[in-house]
Amino acid sequence: MLKAVIFDMGGTLEDVFHKPEYNETCGRKLLDYLGMQGMQIDLEPAKFMEHIEAQNKAYRKWGVDQGIELSPYELWSQWLLKGFDCNRDRLKAAANDLADIWERVYYHRSLRPESKPMLDELAEMKISMGIISNTSSYTQVFEILHEYGIRGYFDTIVLSSIAGFRKPNPALFLTASGALGVRPDECLYVGDTISRDVRGSRLAGYLGCIRINSELTKGSDAGFGTEDEEAEYPVASLMEIPGIVKKLTEEGASKC
């Protein structure tokens, strides 16, 4: 019987995308913050961002291949600021703030208009809810949930940056279901990718996965051979979710 619905964050509850014109602002904010922390880097923002983007691309490939998510300090010291002479202790103290700047300025983020009405309907059904997110920051997801006014809907939040590994690792999904006090086969997962969300929820033995397309879907799934796979419940709008949940809970109740 369905007892919990667990969501992806970026691309699912919120719209997320990047445009090249964001690079100048992001580079300047990162350089300004590093300077304020006593780590001056004498590069123009555009050149600095060329370095950051190249290093981030290499890190993402490595991280996906290994299934690993590094801590903010490990990411910035070993990858993104590799080659720059940054004080170790200062960088360790500043790394999560750098990750927050990256997540908020490099990407545009906004709550999907249908997210809150959908969550309201699920809350009325007394369904437990949680979040699993691949992210480079310890705090950005928590903070933006508060800003969106939806933090209170979720009883557990599982982040790759804290766990040390990324979706589709089933341990993230099992951690979330365990924190909610339900079995994996009593959970639905809602995400926007096949390679991370559909595969991860299946590996964990979830009841099923609801998938909605986003600006991130095509790029995230590219190269993973997902053409012949799909979620049990593909949707065009988050507002389809309450109907799916109602149907599954009623079916489960009838079998009891």
CATH of the domain at 173: 3.40.50.1000
Are 120 and 240 part of one and the same domain?
yes
Run of H or E including 246:
helix 241-255
Are 24 and 86 part of one and the same domain?
yes
Residue 220: helix, strand or coil by DSSP? helix
Instruction: Report the half-sphere exposure of 238 (CA within 13 A, side-chain side).
Output: 26
For residue range 193-205, what is the model confidence (pLDDT) as tens digits?
999 999 999 999 9
15 pLDDT more than 80? yes
Extract the tokens encoding 230.
């799909």
pLDDT of res. 181: 98
Are 9 and 60 part of one and the same domain?
no
For residue range 44-79, what is the model confidence (pLDDT) as tens digits?
999 999 999 999 999 999 999 999 999 999 999 999
Last residue of a domain, one of 106, 132, 147: 106
For residue range 122-159, what is the model confidence (pLDDT) as tens digits?
999 999 999 999 999 999 999 999 999 999 999 999 99
Q: How many of the other CB atoms lie within 10 Å of CB of 89?
A: 8
Number of domains in the chain: 2
Domain holding 223, by residue range, is: 4-16+110-255
Are 250 and 124 part of one and the same domain?
yes
Pairwise pLDDT comparison (256 vs 246), residue with the higher score: 246
Are 93 and 173 part of one and the same domain?
no
Residue with tokens 């437990």: 128
